[in-house]
């Protein structure tokens, strides 16, 4: 069930009305049932997988808490290892079994052997990468002395909560669990904010991301037929497509949760305004980047072992982060590329810190503008690795965008392949929006703008109502008959 589907348009209002009509004591069971219906609407059998993992982690968490309280470090460590291992094995089977078989087949073929296992018919369960990370985080925090969730119903809701079930954000139980116990009362201001978030999310997904996908789908499958300019258009299009697609999903998830009385963390903070790749990862997919920092980078040693150890830990973290996104070599290389960029920025910061003149340059406005532009384009080059189906296609696109290969063509294939005048009209509308949104975000971040304009808008709610009405009209007019799945559904 997609957030941008007709079925969700029917499902969520029904859940919303039943939720606020039901007495407090029935609301948690109602959300659990709704969450399982939401998840099982895709493949019912995988509801058993979700329930089984939930029950297993709940039992391990309770046992782990008791062992930690009795100060038995060996037993508690063994329980933690068992819990994490089972979660990773389940994730590994569904997500990496085919990838591992392919590697094994290629390795044995070098020695003239054929040890490739029989073909596996594995369908990746939706959202498994996200809820497995939530389970691991829960067990790790209980191991550190955190208070476990003692009610299975509440733990089940933490694991299955449908707004975050498929593509996050990755919740922290210490933030989510207390909200379950808080009495919920309907609040009109919260309702308005939730509706605005959902509307924004649908606008980002349906109008911006899905329209930009026309360009990226034209460019990436056949870069050999395109000019250098075509490839750059495709790279820019995908950079904004994946941002508006994923941040749109997050807005809908946050809005849906807020309408049910829950708050979930933000996942994006104007990432393309970042002045370094390090800053980019502080702004992009925040729940994942902080998870990788807290439960992978820091446990490996973090920055405590000197520059060499820090570089190793950072590179391993990003490679595994790339592999988390998908079982393919182009994701591994994308993660390694991000790791190298982070290492380069860390070394640059160490060098600049020793020079007063370099520090003055870094504080200048011109440097910040150049740093923002360069960081954006370095991220865009990484998106080539992320978006391409394999390394052969990624190599072709990179050669074009880096002008390592010229194509002697008089006419752009991209210009000839744009479908219909209707798309041209949308593009004429989208380009100003793409330019205006970062500018608007920058202005809102300024105290004077916020203090002067936003209070006046709140005093006159008609402004907000008109704005949302315009977005809804645009959705009704320009919504395509079919819309692609959210990009992060496949992870």
- Rg of the chain, C-alpha, whole Å: 24
Contacts of 487-490 with CB under 8 Å at 24 or more apart are 487/241, 487/242, 487/245, 487/246, 488/167, 488/168, 488/245, 488/246, 488/249, 489/2, 489/126, 489/166, 489/167, 490/124, 490/326
Distance CA 349, CA 356 (A): 12
Residue 109 confidence (pLDDT): 62
Q: pLDDT confidence of 183, banded at 50, 70, 90?
A: confident
Q: pLDDT confidence of 449, banded at 50, 70, 90?
A: very low
Total count of residues recorded for the chain: 491
Residue 410 confidence (pLDDT): 47
pLDDT digit string (tens) for 232-265? Answer: 888 998 999 999 999 999 999 999 999 999 999 8
Looking at per-residue pLDDT, the higher value among 48 and 411 belongs to: 48
What the block records as the tokens of 207 is 């109008």
Instruction: Report pTM.
Output: 0.87
- What's the CA dihedral at 225, 230, 236, 242 to 10 degrees? -40
Residue 422 confidence (pLDDT): 42
Q: How far apart are the first and last CA of the chain?
A: 16
Residue 421 confidence (pLDDT): 37
User: Whose CA is closest to 2, among 197, 253, 278?
Assistant: 253
Residue 458 confidence (pLDDT): 52
pLDDT at 428 over 60: no
Burial class (CB in 10 A: 0-12, 13-18, 19+), 71: exposed
Contact 334, 322 (CB under 8 A): yes
pLDDT at 155 over 90: yes
Helix (H) or strand (E) segment spanning residue 114: none
Lowest average pLDDT, out of 92-106, 230-244, 307-321, 388-402, goes to 92-106
Helix (H) or strand (E) segment spanning residue 148: none
Contact 53, 90 (CB under 8 A): yes
Beta-carbon contacts of residue 221 (< 8 Å; ≥ 6 apart) = 389, 393
pLDDT at 451 over 70: no
pLDDT at 476 over 50: yes
Contact 205, 488 (CB under 8 A): no
User: Whose CA is closest to 8, among 44, 45, 34, 29?
Assistant: 34
Cis peptide before 169 (omega within 30 of 0): yes
Contact 169, 267 (CB under 8 A): yes
Contact 254, 197 (CB under 8 A): yes
Looking at per-residue pLDDT, the higher value among 343 and 425 belongs to: 343
Catalytic residues: 325
pLDDT digit string (tens) for 23-81? Answer: 988 999 999 999 999 999 888 898 999 999 999 999 999 999 999 888 888 899 999 99
User: Whose CA is closest to 249, among 165, 160, 159?
Assistant: 165
Lowest average pLDDT, out of 53-62, 290-299, 421-430, goes to 421-430
Site of tokens 């970062």: 438
Distance CA 473, CA 81 (A): 53
């Amino acid at each position: 069930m997609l957030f941008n589907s007709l079925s969700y348009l029917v499902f969520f209002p029904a859940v919303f009305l039943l939720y606020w009509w039901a007495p407090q004591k029935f609301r948690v069971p109602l959300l659990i049932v709704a969450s399982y219906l939401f998840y099982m609407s895709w493949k019912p059998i995988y509801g058993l997988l979700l329930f089984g993992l939930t029950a297993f982690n709940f039992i391990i968490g309770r046992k782990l808490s008791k062992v930690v309280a009795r100060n038995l470090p060996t037993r508690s460590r063994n329980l933690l290892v068992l819990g994490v291992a089972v979660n990773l094995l389940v994730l590994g089977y569904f997500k990496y079994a085919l990838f591992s078989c392919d590697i094994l087949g290629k390795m044995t073929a070098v020695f003239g052997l054929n040890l490739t296992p029989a073909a596996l018919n594995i369908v990746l369960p939706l959202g498994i990468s996200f809820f497995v990370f939530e389970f691991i985080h829960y067990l790790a925090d209980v191991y550190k002395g955190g208070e476990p969730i003692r009610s299975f119903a509440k733990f089940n809701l933490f694991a299955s909560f449908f707004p975050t079930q498929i593509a996050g954000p990755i919740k922290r139980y210490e933030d989510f669990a207390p909200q379950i116990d808080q009495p919920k009362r309907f609040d009109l201001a919260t309702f308005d904010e939730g509706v605005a978030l959902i509307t924004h999310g649908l606008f980002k997904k349906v109008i911006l991301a899905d329209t930009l996908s026309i360009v990226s789908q034209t460019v990436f499958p056949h870069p050999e037929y395109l000019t250098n300019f075509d490839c750059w258009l495709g790279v820019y299009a995908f950079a904004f497509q994946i941002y508006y697609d994923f941040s749109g999903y997050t807005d809908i998830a946050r809005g849906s949760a807020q309408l049910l009385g829950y708050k979930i963390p933000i996942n994006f903070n104007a990432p393309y305004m970042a002045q370094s790749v390090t800053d980019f990862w502080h702004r992009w997919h925040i729940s994942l980047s902080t998870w990788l920092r807290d439960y992978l980078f820091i446990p490996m040693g973090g920055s405590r072992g000197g520059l060499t150890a820090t570089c190793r830990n950072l590179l391993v973290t990003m490679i595994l982060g790339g592999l988390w996104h998908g079982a393919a070599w182009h994701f591994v290389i994308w993660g390694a590329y991000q790791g190298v960029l982070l290492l380069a920025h860390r070394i640059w910061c160490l060098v600049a810190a020793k020079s007063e003149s370099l520090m003055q340059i870094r504080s200048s406005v011109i440097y910040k503008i150049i740093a923002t532009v360069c960081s954006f384009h370095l991220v865009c080059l990484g998106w080539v690795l992320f978006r391409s189906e394999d390394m052969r296609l990624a190599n072709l696109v990179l050669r074009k965008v880096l002008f390592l290969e010229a194509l002697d063509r008089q006419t752009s294939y991209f210009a000839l392949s744009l479908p219909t005048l209707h798309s041209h009209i949308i593009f004429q509308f989208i380009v100003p929006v793409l330019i205006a949104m970062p500018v608007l975000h920058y202005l809102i971040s300024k105290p004077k703008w916020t203090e002067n304009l936003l209070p006046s808008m709140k005093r006159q709610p008609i402004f907000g109502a008109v704005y949302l009405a315009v977005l809804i009209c645009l959705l009704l007019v320009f919504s395509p008959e079919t819309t692609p799945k959210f990009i992060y559904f496949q992870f």
